[in-house]
Amino acid sequence: MAEFTSKEQQFLSFLHEQNAYKEALTTLQWDSHTQIPRGGVDSRSEVVGILSGKLQEAETSDRMKDFIEEMKATSDNELILQAAAECEQVYDKNRKIPNAEYQEYVTLCSKAEAVWGEARNKDDFSLFEPYLSRIAGYNQEFAERFGYKEHRYDALLDTNEPGITVKTLDEVFPELRKSLTGLIEQVQASPVKADVSLLKTPFPTVQQKALCEAMLKLIGYRMEDGRLDTSAHPYSFAINQNDVRLSTKYVQDDFRASVFSAIHEGGHALYEQNIGKDLAGTPLSAASSMGMHESQSLYWEMFVTADYGFWEKNYDWFRSFAPEHFKSVSLDEFYLALHDVKASLIRIDADPLTYPMHIMMRYEIEKGLLNGDMKAADLPTIWNDLMRDYLGVVPENNEDGVLQDIHWSSGDFGYFPSYTLGYLYAAQLHNTMKKEVPFDECLKTNDFASIRNWFTENVHQYGKTKQPLDLLRDATSEDLNPTYLVEYLTKKYGAIYQF
Ligand code: ZN
């Protein structure tokens, strides 16, 4: 345990106060997703608004500025210096946007979310268009205030994925797109056809829940330091390292919705549960970036529990939870059905080969809106053109098209690329991990601890003390390299679809 000076202690206590607000807000967020009665919603928004305001006040206070300066000048403790640097980033960013302007923006977004819902129901993009246009305008201005070197969009990328720029994505995405297009064509041309209907049979919720919990325990999620609830949108809520809660959703005749969402959220939770204890209560006790967080959820969902070895070992065990129906479905039929590939309109329903296409076209749109090459009014047409180019399918209405995601109405620009970056990080980390841990052998014996420990050692424990690209380079001795994902998918789908 490091010795702290009394000034350092005061700084840490100040950070713990802010952490208390964060814990309270996350607990309320969990409650809002899983428990709250309808009548509680309005008052809840107000309470969340007040608490968030208090937190932001502290983060941008003169007291914070004084602490940052003093720690930088006097401390030689690594943890204190890193915490001060993190606080300084937040301070600088938040101070760049005047409070009144930020409040206007938050109010605009909360209205926009409601209008987005209405526009979807009426399939009328013109209702949402003026809101989207203003939200994009605000984001252009925020980016100007945050500052950037080359592209305005870089400023927003930096918020979610420090170190990643338009230049990186413009190099990586086209290459990935080309490879995925080739793979999708090969799957489509293959005589092997998946039959998804084999997976669809009434599966009682109690049994699905028991299966979700058993699978979470199997991968090493500490159930005694968490819980699994039900919500419309699966989520993980990291209140602190010893209280990381999950939620999933249940679809009666398709167990995949609950089980793979639970594993996905479980992957997020493994990250949060295994951040270094010394970082607790500081802003460093968080994931390195949105993309690195996503790499961990996708890792357990795609690379572990969607691996043939996993099901070879566990299919009979799975059948002990599942309805009788699965007795007549062979392991190979089951595995093939899990790996159906189909170009479809909706991002959240997309399979691992087509999903990144949805992300890359959204990236093109966000970049276009931010640099002024695209206008909100033209988005329905642009959307449909991009869908045709990327996936060869075109929506018949805007609900299945440009209005399908909530992100833009909430002002979340610069976030979409993190989904695909997470996938690339996961594949690159997997490639290195396999050289150090006998992955296939581990699956034969359900030894997930060895796999998990590798990630804890190389990723989780560092929390926010390393930026994503540094973390990746330290763990894999290489910069971001998209070929690992392409190689992984080619090998996997080639084996399944025989090409
Ligand atoms: Zn996720």
Distance 2 CA to ligand 1 centre (A): 34
Give the burial string for 207-232 (b: 16+ CB within 10 Å, else e).
Answer: ebbebbbbbbebbbbeeeebebbebe
3-class SS at 214? helix
Quick one: pLDDT at residue 326? 98
Check residue 180 and give its pLDDT. Answer: 98
Question: In angstroms, what is the span from residue 273 Cα to ligand 1's centroid?
Answer: 15
pLDDT score recorded for residue 110 = 83
Measured in whole angstroms, how far is the alpha carbon of residue 398 from the centre of its chain? 25
CA 65 → CA 92, 259, 339, 483, distances in Å? Answer: 10, 46, 52, 43
Cβ atoms of 480 and 300 closer than 8 Å: no
Q: What share of the chain is helix, strand, coil (3-state, %, to 5)?
A: 70, 5, 25
Q: What confidence score (pLDDT) does residue 422 get? A: 98
Ligand 1 centre to CA of 291 (Å) is: 9
Give dist(CA 324, CA 486) in Å, integer. 37
Rounded-to-integer distance, Cα 271 and Cα 293, Å: 7
Tell me how long the chain is.
499
Instruction: Give me the catalytic one of 8, 129, 265, 294.
Output: 265
Is the whole model's pTM more than 0.85, yes or no?
A: yes
**Is the distance from CB of 446 to CB of 218 less than 8 angstroms?**
yes
The Å distance, Cα 132 to ligand 1 centre, comes to 25
Q: Rounded to the nearest whole angstrom, what is the distance from the C-alpha of residue 265 to the centroid of ligand 1?
A: 6
Q: How far is CA 275 from CA 2, 4, 135, 271, 389, in A?
A: 18, 21, 35, 6, 41
Output the CA–CA distances (angstroms, integers) from residue 143 to 138, 162, 196, 367, in the order listed: 9, 14, 44, 12
Is 129 assigned a catalytic role?
no
Structure tokens at 475: 């763990």
The string of DSSP letters for 135-192 reads HHHHHHHHHHHH--SS-HHHHHHHHHSTT--HHHHHHHHHHHHHHHHHHHHHHHH-S-
Specify the pLDDT at position 107.
86
Q: Which of 146, 163, 160, 19 is closest to 83 using CA atoms? A: 19
Short-list 434, 96, 426, CA closest to 271: 426
- The pLDDT of residue 2: 61
What's the 408 CA to ligand 1 centre distance in angstroms? 18
pLDDT at 49: 84
Amino acid at site 318: F
Amino acid at the residue 363 = Y
Asked if 374 and 347 touch (Cβ cutoff 8 Å), the reply is no
Residues in a beta bridge with 144: none
Q: Return the DSSP state at 196.
A: G
| 175 Cα: distance to centroid of ligand 1 (angstroms) | 24
pLDDT tens across the length of the chain (499 residues): 568 999 999 999 999 999 999 999 999 999 998 999 989 888 888 888 889 889 999 999 999 999 999 999 999 999 999 999 999 999 999 999 988 888 889 889 888 988 999 999 999 999 999 999 999 999 999 999 999 999 999 999 999 999 999 999 999 999 999 999 999 999 999 999 999 999 999 999 999 999 999 999 999 999 999 999 999 889 999 999 999 999 999 999 999 999 999 999 999 999 999 999 999 999 999 999 999 999 999 999 999 999 999 999 999 999 999 999 999 999 999 999 999 999 999 999 899 999 999 999 999 999 999 999 999 999 999 999 999 999 999 999 999 999 999 899 999 999 999 999 999 999 999 999 999 999 999 999 999 999 999 999 999 999 999 999 999 999 999 999 999 999 999 999 999 999 9
Cα(161) to centroid(ligand 1), Å: 15
Contacts of 141 (CB under 8 A, 6+ apart): none
Q: How far is the CA of 72 from the centre of ligand 1 (A)?
A: 35
CA distances (Å), 418 to each of 208, 290, 304, 320, in order?
30, 6, 20, 37
List, as own/partner pairs, every contact residues 250-258 make where C-beta atoms lie below 8 angstroms and the sequence separation is at least 24, other chains included.
250/205, 250/208, 250/209, 252/202, 252/203, 252/205, 253/200, 253/201, 253/202, 253/203, 254/199, 254/200, 254/203, 255/199, 255/203, 255/208, 255/211, 255/322, 256/199, 256/338, 258/208, 258/209, 258/211, 258/212
CB-CB contact of 182 with 494 (8 Å):
no
